[in-house]
Structure 1
Amino acid sequence: MKNTLYIILFAFLLTGCDDFLDVTPKGKVIPSEVKDYDLLLNGGSSTIHTTSDEDLLFLSADDFYSDEGELGDLNDPNNQLLRIYRWEKELFPDMVRVQMWENSYNSIYTYNLIIEEIENASITSTYTEEDVKQIKSEARTVRAYEYWLLVNSFAKQYDASTASTDAGVPLVTVADASAKTNERASVKEVYDFLLTDLKEALEFLPDVPENKIRPTKATGYALLARIYLQMGEYELARTNATMALNIKNTLGDYTNMDLDESELNASEQFMYRFYGYTRGFTNGYFSDDLVALYDLTNDMRVNRIAGEAVKWVYDPATGWQQVPTGKVANLMSMDINHCVSVPEMYVIRAECNARLSDGSLQEVIDDLNTLRNTRIVAYTDLTNLDITDKTEALKLTLEERRREMVMTGMRWFDLKRLNKESEHAITITHPLGDSNYTLLPNSSNYVFSIPIDVISFNPDMEQNVRE
């Protein structure tokens, strides 16, 4: 039995327009039993486990360059890919649907419904009261993750000194299309909300995952580690990363060429969230500074997921042929997870130990070696001869983090937090034809515009200022 829930697009949820609210869905099943809510959480909506508009995160950051062949018509005023790549002030064409915003709030609507109603649902079949608590906690966990993506994309980087006044995103906590429009909560309010969701959910999260898209206790700790790292709360980030690794610390051995990349990747995940249904970002090439970070001969992260890009070129004599471009590009054939993973916890813990006064140099070295031994052929361990102080340890850890998480889209969020530190702040340059476009550290263009259709439905909602 396949039950589906009619989910009104969040842009319409914000309108308060009776015309939309009076629509009665036909042929849909409204959940009433615990098993219905379980199914709803497990995939009742085709987009509930995906986040679209990955172009926003990849084309904005510094891991990829792009060109006319990837961006399309450079003279088209409505070319959104071009607007993103050049960090234009008017980021979105008029009334374009911004999938990242839309999909996240649609999913949040579903999670709110589960959280609100499951305790009053009929318990049948093999379900118990403990199952109800677990399903509700799982919904709170994934709701927190959606808010983490939203607040870090459409609001300023968390700063303890300004978070209470910086505009965040609307906090929608009820599944009611007729509810009053939510104004933007502050960044602090959003972070407080998602931290509370995760901490309270932990008690009833399962130890073992039901499947790869549902959270466990390890997922909860790992999400807390990521969030605290973004906040600059390094002790809490380290603690939660360690808690996650105490439950699951499997690393796939990418140096074993007999093993499949997809199986290796899957073995490392705490929970999956995909960008649409894509298999990695393919609208650009690895930037020069990113390529320079890899051992192109022995590092299997680049050898197994990327290679020399080719373009189709038409020759009147021979027809269409593939011609090497000399550029490194993603050639990965497996789905890319942007949610938390075991390797991310190793680099989070290494970074925290490099920053904290009670973190030892040896602890940093041990975590980096553990990770790199599964990534680099004929790897020679780092030692105190290679890393002699915490400053060097932090530099190498941040480089390792960038290498490890290249296909996750998390680089954009790392840039936002690292820009707060002058020693790590960088200016990004995007080449395009004969021109170069630059993004300065802490630019207001690090905050994506609130979708135009949302603002049009809610004219009192504060829009983000871009340069």
Structure 2
Amino acid sequence: MKKYSNKIFFLLLTCSILVSCNDDFLDIVPKGSQVAGSTEDYDLLLNNPTYYFHSTGGWQAPRWMGDEIAADAHDVYSYDIQAKLLFQWEDEIYPTEDDRAWDLRNGLSRVYTLNKVINQVMGAEEGTEAEKMALQAEAKSNRAFEYFQFINFYAKPYSASTASSDLGFPIITTPDIYENNFTRASVQEVYDFIIEDLMSSIEYLPMERSFNTRFTKPATKGFLAKIYMFMGRFDEALPLLNEAFDDLSSSTNPPSLYDYNVEYAAGGSFLPISPYDGPNGPGNDPYDFQESVLARVCYSGPYSGNGAGNEGLVLSPEAASLYESSDLRLNVYSDTYGDYSLDINPNGVLRKYGILYTRYGLELSELYLLRAECKARLNDLSGAVADVKFLREKRMPVADAEVPASIVSDQVGLIKFILEERIREFATEGYRWFDMRRLSVDSNTELANTVKYTHNLYDYVDGETVVLETFTLRPERLTLRIPQAYIDQNPNMENNP
């Protein structure tokens, strides 16, 4: 981060001054004002931390909605009311007295600026045509990334049979803050918009960047493949995943997986393991991008006024049972309370104390798991086994990393195992919520049935662990309601049920 010039800090300060907290969709800067003048200005603008680090928003909300979590009432059950509303899958998750729609508010702010870049960079001063095209392509890729979050928060999961009629999200391509006549495009139209942004960007993007926070060819190809997988178009996703890996292998400084067998051994970089804060690993370092194909980071620690905190958020017993005892990913979990007392939690639940920062852009580990699932879906079972085994060998002793022999020739069993590996790799970090949505409409009933629809609130009473309350997820709450303030500002917009 120290490499940024003073010029970017001026731009960031300017942007911060211009950002408004009004609930209007695009009430951010005066109409027609420029965010930059020269090509270099636009380049520096895309280095803005708003695109890759979020103290509010990001995947703070999805962390509380996945079916792999539970909550521990004794461990505060969060200081933040929104966390409770999310965990209980309530209809209204944004407290009326305190609008916490950070994901929407901040995302729309970024879309506004990205639209400025897309529409104006080709007329920037200085710079070559190729440099301007690359910046425009990068802004489009960033816009596609924002819309992927919008459509997976505020619209139904993609289903080819209903996507053309399901309500999606407004498609905004011009930076006009005075417009308040937004209507919701269909889910299909939004996915088509995302795909067009990404496909039209690939040829103009560089193969690699100095910073993993910037879009590149392999990052865009990998992300487009993920979009296709969320649409069930696995045959279109796999070639892109292969190309992304090929591009990374030819890069001079590609991301690489940490080998936990090395990093947790004597002298390893993840040591020491603090009894209070967990390992000295990337989960506690927001600027460790070694495994990031595209770095996007959001804060996932205790509540301090900056979004839903993690107090009381624990791994469900069913999810905990997915880990082998030798799995070194267990080192980021603790069986103590989160109050720094180091008291052992008698409920027997694990909290993820070694991940204060969630990476949710495109991690190399996810790229391997996406390709493994894609291969399994297309019946390349040996290829799928090879990809998931490669990741597992970096996370546990090699002798324990084998895929169970009973499923290596069982297509559905192998896909389930890969989906469980996604839980083992990303539990409590929001990934599962997105998987639940796409799996809920999977044409394979066995895979659709892997989605669980209950959350348990645990406590310890009279020497026994008890379930105080169970909350049930209704299918319509796989889609969040848009905050009413935004609906009120746009009279032609319909809210979700």
By the TM > 0.5 criterion, same fold?
yes
* Corresponding residue number in structure 2 for 1:270: 293
TM alignment of 1:208-287, pairs within 5 A: 208-248=208-248, 250-256=256-262, 257=264, 258-260=268-270, 261-262=281-282, 266-276=289-299, 278=301, 282-283=310-311, 284-287=313-316
The normalised TM-score by structure 2 is 0.81
Number of residue pairs matched? 437
The match for 2:494 among 453, 462, 467 is 462
Of residues 164-173 and 234-243 in structure 1, the stretch that sits farther from structure 2 once superposed is 234-243
* Corresponding residue number in structure 2 for 1:183: 183
Instruction: From the superposition, tell whether residues 47 and 138 of structure 1 become closer, same or farther in structure 2 (CA, over 3 Å).
Output: closer
Instruction: From the superposition, tell whether residues 251 and 79 of structure 1 become closer, same or farther in structure 2 (CA, over 3 Å).
Output: closer
2: CA distance, partners of 1:37 / 1:10: 26
Measured on the aligned residues, the alpha-carbon RMSD in Å equals 2.7
1: CA distance, partners of 2:159 / 2:208: 35
SS class of match (2:204): coil
Instruction: Report if aligned partners of 1:47, 1:103 keep a CA contact under 8 Å in 2.
Output: no
2: CA distance, partners of 1:449 / 1:67: 26
**In the alignment, residue 453 of structure 1 is paired with which amino acid?**
A
Q: CA deviation at 1:41?
A: 1.2
2: CA distance, partners of 1:408 / 1:153: 15
SS class of match (2:342): strand
Q: In the TM superposition, what whole-angstrom CA distance separates every residue of 1:76-98 from its partner, at most 9, and x where no partner exists? A: xx932222111122332226240
Q: 2:455 aligned with 1:436, yes or no?
A: no
* Corresponding residue number in structure 2 for 1:288: 317
**In the alignment, residue 41 of structure 2 is paired with which amino acid?**
D
SS class of match (2:493): coil
Instruction: From the superposition, tell whether residues 209 and 187 of structure 1 become closer, same or farther in structure 2 (CA, over 3 Å).
Output: same
Q: CA deviation at 1:322?
A: 3.3
Instruction: Report if aligned partners of 1:9, 1:106 keep a CA contact under 8 Å in 2.
Output: no
Q: 2:63 aligned with 1:58, yes or no?
A: yes
Q: In the TM superposition, what whole-angstrom CA distance separates every residue of 1:112-134 from its partner, at most 9, and x where no partner exists? A: 111111111111xxx43221111
* Corresponding residue number in structure 2 for 1:93: 95
**In the alignment, residue 67 of structure 1 is paired with which amino acid?**
D
Q: CA deviation at 1:225?
A: 1.3
TM alignment of 1:26-45, pairs within 5 A: 30-43=35-48
Q: In the TM superposition, what whole-angstrom CA distance separates every residue of 1:143-163 from its partner, at most 9, and x where no partner exists? A: 100000110111000111111
**In the alignment, residue 84 of structure 1 is paired with which amino acid?**
L
Q: 2:336 aligned with 1:309, yes or no?
A: yes
* Corresponding residue number in structure 2 for 1:83: 85
* Corresponding residue number in structure 2 for 1:352: 374
**Which portions of structure 1, spanning 4 or more consecutive aligned residues, are displaced by more than 4 angstroms?**
20-25, 45-49, 276-281, 383-386
The normalised TM-score by structure 1 is 0.86
Instruction: From the superposition, tell whether residues 14 and 36 of structure 1 become closer, same or farther in structure 2 (CA, over 3 Å).
Output: closer
Q: 2:330 aligned with 1:298, yes or no?
A: no
Instruction: Report if aligned partners of 2:91, 2:477 keep a CA contact under 8 Å in 1.
Output: yes
**In the alignment, residue 309 of structure 1 is paired with which amino acid?**
T
**In the alignment, residue 194 of structure 2 is paired with which amino acid?**
L
Q: In the TM superposition, what whole-angstrom CA distance separates every residue of 1:320-356 from its partner, at most 9, and x where no partner exists? A: x431113211122563210112211211121122122
User: Matched residues, percent identical?
Assistant: 29
Q: In the TM superposition, what whole-angstrom CA distance separates every residue of 1:156-184 from its partner, at most 9, and x where no partner exists? A: 00111111110111111111212353211
Q: Which one has more relative contact order, counting CA pairs under 8 Å at least 6 apart?
A: 2
Instruction: Report if aligned partners of 1:281, 1:407 keep a CA contact under 8 Å in 2.
Output: no
Instruction: Report if aligned partners of 1:372, 1:379 keep a CA contact under 8 Å in 2.
Output: no
1: CA distance, partners of 2:22 / 2:243: 35
Instruction: Report if aligned partners of 2:53, 2:296 keep a CA contact under 8 Å in 1.
Output: yes
**Unaligned stretches of 5+ in structure 2?**
1-6, 250-255, 271-280, 303-307, 459-467
